[in-house]
Chain A
Amino acid sequence: MQQKEVPEVLRSKGISAGVVEELSRFNGEPAWLTEKRLEAWRTFEETPMPTLRDEAWRYTDISDVKIEDFVPYAPSADVSSEEDLPDAVQALITEGEENSALLVQHNSETAYSRVDEELLRKGVVFTDLHTALREHEDLIREKLFGLVPVDYDKFAALSAAAFSGGSFLYVPRGVAVEVPIQSYRWLDTIGSIMPRTLVVVEEGASVTYIDEYASADGEEPAFSNGAVELYVGQGASLRYVSLQNWERNVLHFNTIRSSTGKDATINSLVVSLGSQLSRTNVEAGLVETGSDSEMLGLYFADSNQLIDHHTLQDHLSPNAHSDLLYKGALRDESLTVFSGLIRVEPGAQKTDAYQTNRNIILGTDDAFAVSLPNLEIMADDVKCSHGSTTGQVDETELFYLMSRGIPRREAEKLVVFGFFGEVTSRIPLPGLKEKLDRAIEGKIGLGFEERVA
């Protein structure tokens, strides 16, 4: 929550080493972080912009993305109660999951946060990153950039150099948080938003945490660039949800990486519905033996959206289990990319790893679905499989429903809901499920023969 006047250089287009330094000074950060940001900036400058010639970007054309055109920092007004938040944000909150702690990042700044008394008593910490740096510097210094390092890729380098706001969640050993914790990222100005999420769940603790991205409609392009680091300790459990529903003027880049300790569990759900171009890397490191990662994904692309997910199930230890299911629908002239890799490192025996990607193309010949389900197996005593299918709505299913008197349009809707039901039924969050259902319904719109208005 910034009360100071934002320096002019942060509010002008373009980023430079000077801007990065000014941002760090403006936030009153320790020297090590300033140095880290500058190092990241150098990495960003040295790393060429990915092109279609790079394997990881061969279908995702970002040649039009001009990072220098974005304003690095946009302030927002602090509010003292939820009622003072923008109406749209209040709607997001009331329509969403019940929460025990809440943080709203409005543009580059934290506008509002609240944590239930009970959580505070149990030692749960939930703040933005700048507050966390002041109050828990040692922990942040140890964990920040640990999973999404500055040299992960060009966008991760930029995130490390120029992040602001963000959230930090710490759940102490053995603490079970029953009600989800939620952060909202709200953008209503031209410019950029670069939040980072850092979650540390200690041994035996459990929590559900949701990052939700939404914005006010705008004409000018805006830029969202995030990094999410999820540490799950021994025997701990984390359910993580990322719900991206930006308006179409936003370009979204995000990297979500987790590491699980011995017998730890992570359930992730990554939902991508909005933005003109959305690229999300989701990587689960099964670092210790017996760990478990469920990875769910749901995407729905319409008009000329490009939605790209790159996933990794990285099995580094024996006896770990991972199960991935990403399902997507496409319509109009959209393009979706799913590239998933199961990597079983040498020595990771008794690995159980599964990966499924299913795409459904609705009422169009102009959509383009790419599916790249990859395996790299370097241990022999493993069970791994993957599957991928792409097709249209099954005519026999439609016929069956229509023979029961359901109009075609309604029948199509039911089939699409059924398609996504395989994912949504695995999420024990009724509020979120309802929100997703509404979003899917909106995407289906008037049917597949007509464009979304």
Chain B
Amino acid sequence: MPEDNIVQTLGLDDYKYGFSDPEEYFFRTPRKGLDEEIVAMISMHKKEPEWMLEFRLNALKSFWEKPTPTWGGYLGDLDYDEIYYYIRPMENQGRSWDDVPEDIKNTFERLGIPQAERETLAGVGAQYESEVVYHSLKEEWEKSGVVFMDMDGGLREHEDLVREYFGTIIPPDDNKFAALNSAVWSGGSFVYVPPGVHIDIPLQAYFRINAENMGQFERTLIIADEGSYVHYIEGCTAPTYTTNSLHSAVVELIAKPNARIRYSTIQNWSHNTYNLVTKRAVAQENATVEWVDGNLGSRLTMKYPAVYLTGEGARGEILSVAYAGDGQHQDAGGKVVHAAPNTSSLITSKSISKGTGRATYRGLLKVHEGAESAKSRVECDALLLDEKARTDTYPYIEIEEKKVSTEHEATVSKVGEDQLFYLMSRGLSEEEAMAMVVNGFIEPIAKELPLEYAIELNRLIQLEMEGSVG
């Protein structure tokens, strides 16, 4: 299928305008705001074991105790009392595509999960509002013992596994927003890949916020057992509303010896959403974890996917691309902690700031004593498209070991007149030329994404570039 047709099919043209279905709910907390009663209500409604309720209530205490970060983006307008912390959609888990309610299907259709793609998208755990409503998994995976379900289901059916790992990579008191998520989490994915199993086709989940003033607090836990491989794709889109929304997820990944996890995200939350997400992975002996992280939407994103290299020979890679348009602040980046010998890491960040947008790279590279022969490289490139645009780079580099090689580089530039001139002399309009330069700039990251995502990314950039010249 030619690219243009795919774009049509995906309905991407509607993305930037947002859309919403009539709100019909099965259950939601009786009031906005957060207290112990609300948390208990959520837990009770989900019929959770006692320990999870305790976990939630302890997390709530941490949330209250933890200060709101004073660094990063402006959080002053975020009103925790104006948010519904739990909404459960009208229908429960669908068994097959046909069981999925019609209006939700319509939403997916417009989001670009068409029938045609379902053939290749082996499993779809899609989150509508706060709960996974649609879920399918190929039979051969079930046979090989792969678990891919929503987090609530994971807690019900694999309680021991969940209890062993849940909150161990990101403890509830890690930061204010991780604490908030831990208190009110709902939905998200639970993935377990048994030893030696390679899942060739990416696991995919779409998330979507669809109720005004509604927070979404999904929680994902992925365990890749020894020698296994999994690629998980999380995509977010949200319709545009006028008041602030909050998305605060927690994602924990565990890559056991020789395992490899790749986790790809493109977030395109509407421009009034606060996207405050904690993502962290542990890579054991010779394991590899890769984060591919694209940030296009939201009003403010604060997200720094992390890899802790705890086993010898482990590798971490973070690819981050951020696009900050008018009024947006993308405070993104990555963290790598080398805690074992012969570990290696690479962080590549590309950001584009346009209009009054602000793109910030914030990262940490830490090499602990004893992490001999650690190698790390951090590369940040920023492109500025407008006089009022802003870009920042805040890389923290902490080295406690002498036998290391660490490098950090960053460059900032604008689109060169000569680049534009050359393209325009070939008959491209200035707008097209600009879009082409920008797409070329993010190409190293786009090529790491599955095809449909790469197209989506390019198309979104193109849409954003419309009217950017002249």
- A contact set with B: CB distance below 8 Å: 55, 59, 346, 349, 359, 361-392
When the two chains form the complex, which single residue of A364, A367, A372, A375 contacts B410, counting CB atoms closer than 8 Å?
A375
The 27 listed contacts between A and B (C-beta, < 8 Å) are A55-B71, A59-B398, A346-B388, A359-B399, A364-B402, A365-B369, A365-B401, A367-B400, A368-B398, A370-B396, A370-B399, A372-B396, A372-B397, A377-B392, A379-B387, A380-B387, A380-B389, A381-B414, A382-B414, A383-B413, A386-B408, A388-B395, A388-B409, A389-B407, A390-B404, A391-B405, A392-B403
Q: How far is the CA of A369 from the CA of B368 in the complex (A)?
A: 11
> What CA separation (Å) do A378 and B414 show in the bound complex?
12
Q: Using Cβ atoms and an 8 Å threshold, which residues of chain B touch A373?
A: 393, 395, 397, 408, 410
Residue B412 lies at the interface, judged by CB distance under 8 Å to chain A: yes
Of A363, A369, A377, A382, the most chain B CB neighbours within 10 A belong to: A377
On chain A, the residues within 8 Å of B395 by CB distance are 372-374, 388
**Chain B residue at minimal CB-CB distance from A360:** B402
Question: Across the interface, which residues of B come within 8 angstroms of A390, CB to CB?
Answer: 397, 399, 404, 406
> Is B385's CB under 8 angstroms from A380's CB?
yes
- Say yes or no for B384: interface residue by CB 8 A criterion: yes
Nearest opposing residue in chain B for A365, CB measure: B369
Q: Give A99 to B397 CA distance when docked, in angstroms.
A: 40
Chain A positions within 8 Å of B405 at CB level: 389, 391
A385–B399 CB distance below 8 A: no
Bound: A359/B407 CA distance, A? 11
Chain B contacts for A59, CB-based, 8 A: 398
Docked Cα-Cα span, A30 to B100, in Å, equals 84
Is the C-beta of B386 less than 8 angstroms from some C-beta in chain A? yes
A residues within 8 A CB of B398?
59, 368-370
CB-defined contacts of A386 to chain B, threshold 8 Å: 393, 408-410
Give Cα distance in the complex from A387 to B409, angstroms.
4
**Is B242 an interface residue when CB atoms closer than 8 A count as contact?**
no
Q: Report which of A346, A362, A370, A378 forms a contact with B402, defined as CB distance below 8 A.
A: A362
Query: Which chain B positions have C-beta within 8 A of A387?
Result: 407-410
Interface residues of B (CB under 8 A from A): 71, 369-370, 382, 384-414
Q: A385-B409, A386-B409, A388-B407 are in contact. Are A380 and B414 (CB under 8 A)?
A: yes
Which chain A positions have C-beta within 8 A of B386? 380
- Which residues of B are found within 8 Å of A370, using beta-carbon distances? 396-399
- Taking a contact as CB atoms under 8 Å apart, the answer to whether B412 and A377 are in contact is yes
Q: Kindly state the separation between the CA atoms of A55 and B412 in the bound complex, as whole angstroms.
A: 24
Contact of A391 among B369, B404, B413 (CB under 8 A): B404
Q: Are B389 and A389 in contact (CB under 8 A)?
A: no
Contact of A377 (CB < 8 Å), options: B385, B390, B403: B390
The 4 closest A-B pairs by CB, nearest first: A361-B402, A380-B384, A375-B393, A371-B397
In the complex, what residues of A have CB within 8 A of residue B396's CB? 370, 372
A446 CB, nearest partner CB in chain B, Å: 18
Instruction: Give Cα A386–Cα B395 distance, bound, in whole angstroms.
Output: 11
Q: How far is the CA of A380 from the CA of B396 in the complex (A)?
A: 24
Pick from B388, B392, B404, B412: contact of A392, CB under 8 Å = B404
Chain B residues with CB under 8 A of A366: 369, 400
One of B387, B389, B399, B411 near A369 (C-beta < 8 A)? B399
Contacts A376-B390, A382-B413 known; list 17 others, CB within 8 Å.
A369-B398, A371-B399, A372-B397, A374-B393, A374-B394, A375-B382, A375-B392, A377-B382, A377-B412, A380-B389, A386-B408, A388-B395, A388-B406, A389-B406, A391-B402, A391-B405, A392-B402
Residues of chain B within 8 A (CB-CB) of A363 are 402
Contact with B384, one of A368, A374, A377 (Cβ below 8 angstroms): A377
SS class of chain A's interface: helix, strand, loop or mixed? Answer: strand
B399 touches A375 (CB 8 A): no
Could you tell me the distance in whole angstroms from the C-beta of A313 to the nearest C-beta in chain B?
13
Residue of A nearest to B387 (CB): A380
B406 with A391: CB separation less than 8 A: yes
Q: Tell whether, in the assembled complex, residue A388 and residue B408 are in contact, meaning their CB atoms are under 8 Å apart.
A: yes
Closest residue to B410 on the A side, CB-wise? A386
Q: How far is the CB of A214 from chain B (nearest CB, A)?
A: 30
Contact in complex: A375, B412 (CB < 8 Å):
yes
B27 CB, min distance to chain A CBs, angstroms? 42
Residues of A within 8 A of B412 (CB): 375, 377, 382-385
Q: Is the CB of B411 within 8 A of A384?
A: yes
Q: How far is the CA of A368 from the CA of B368 in the complex (A)?
A: 9
Residues of B within 8 A of A389 (CB): 405-408
Query: Which residue of chain B has the shortest Cβ distance to A395 in the bound complex?
Result: B403
| A residues less than 8 Å from B399 (CB atoms) | 359, 361, 368-371, 390
- Chain B nearest CB from A247 CB (Å) reads 27
Partner of B397, one of A362, A385, A388: A388
**Minimum CB distance partner of A386 in chain B:** B410
CB < 8 Å neighbour of B392 from A346, A365, A376, A380: A376
User: Who on chain A is nearest to B382 by CB?
Assistant: A377
Taking a contact as CB atoms under 8 Å apart, the answer to whether B391 and A375 are in contact is yes
Within 8 Å CB of B408, what residues of A? 371, 373, 386-389
With both beta carbons as reference points, the residue of chain B lying nearest to A375 in the complex is identified as B393
Expressed in whole angstroms, the Cα–Cα distance for A379 and B407 within the complex equals: 26
Count chain A CB atoms within 10 A of each CB in B388, B392, B399, B400 and give the residue with the most.
B399
For A55, give the chain B residue with the smallest CB separation: B71
Expressed in whole angstroms, the minimum distance between the Cβ of A390 and any Cβ of chain B is: 4
Bound complex: CA of A97 vs CA of B409, how far in Å? 36
Q: How far is the CB of B284 from chain A (nearest CB, A)?
A: 23
Which residues of B lie under 8 Å from residue A349 when comparing CB positions? 387
- CA separation between A369 and B405, bound complex, in Å? 12
Between A55, A363, A375, the greatest number of chain B beta carbons within 10 A of the residue's beta carbon is seen for A375
In the complex, how many angstroms separate the beta carbon of B322 from the nearest chain A beta carbon?
A: 14
Known: A377-B391, A386-B410, A388-B408. A368 touches B397 (CB 8 A): no
Q: How far is the CB of B148 from chain A (nearest CB, A)?
A: 40
Establish whether residues B414 and A368, one from each chain, have CB atoms under 8 Å apart when the complex forms.
no
Nearest A residue to B378, CB-CB? A388
Closest to B380 in A: A375
Closest residue of chain B to A343 (Cβ to Cβ) is B392
In the assembled complex, the Cα of A391 lies from the Cα of B407 at a distance in Å of 9
The smallest C-beta distance from A111 to any residue of chain B, in angstroms, reads 43
Which chain B positions have C-beta within 8 A of A362? 402
Given the complex of chains A and B, what is the CA–CA distance between A83 and B403 in angstroms?
A: 49
Closest to B397 in A: A371
Distance, CA A402 to CA B404, complexed state (A): 22
Q: How far is the CA of A346 from the CA of B390 in the complex (A)?
A: 9
Q: How far is the CA of A28 from the CA of B4 in the complex (A)?
A: 82
Residues of A within 8 A of B392 (CB): 374-377
Counting chain A CB atoms within 10 Å of each CB, the highest count among B382, B385, B407, B408 belongs to B408
Closest B residue to A392 by CB, please name it. B402
Neighbouring B residues of A55 by C-beta, 8 Å: 71
Complex interface: chain B residues within 8 A of A365 (CB): 369-370, 400-402
How far is it, in angstroms, between the C-alpha of A368 and the C-alpha of B366 when the chains are bound?
A: 10
Q: Quick check: A385 and B384 within 8 Å, CB to CB? A: no
Q: How far is the CA of A59 from the CA of B397 in the complex (A)?
A: 12
The CA of A55 and the CA of B389, in the complex, are separated in Å by 25
Residues of chain A within 8 A (CB-CB) of B394 are 372, 374
CB distance from B137 to the nearest CB of A (A): 45
> In the complex, what distance in Å separates the CA atom of A387 from the CA atom of B404?
16
Contacts of A372 in B (CB 8 A): 394-397
- Assess A378 versus B390: contact at CB under 8 Å? Given A359-B399, A369-B399, A385-B409: yes
Rounded to whole Å, the gap between the CB of B436 and the closest CB of chain A is 18
CB distance from A299 to the nearest CB of B (A): 15
Nearest-neighbour CB distance to chain A for B161, whole angstroms, equals 37
Query: CA of A376 to CA of B389 in the docked complex: distance in angstroms?
Result: 11
Give the shortest distance, in Å, between B120 (CB) and chain A (any CB): 41
- A380 CB contacts on chain B under 8 angstroms: 384-387, 389, 414
Give the complex CA separation of A229 and B71 in angstroms. 30
Min CB distance A204 to B, Å, is 33
CA distance A366 to B390 in the complex (A): 39
Which residues of B have CB within 8 Å of A376? 390-392
In the complex, A389 Cα to B394 Cα: how many Å?
Answer: 15
In chain B, what residue has the closest Cβ to A355? B410
Residues in A whose Cβ lies below 8 Å from that of B71: 55
B409 to chain A: which residues have CB within 8 Å? 385-388
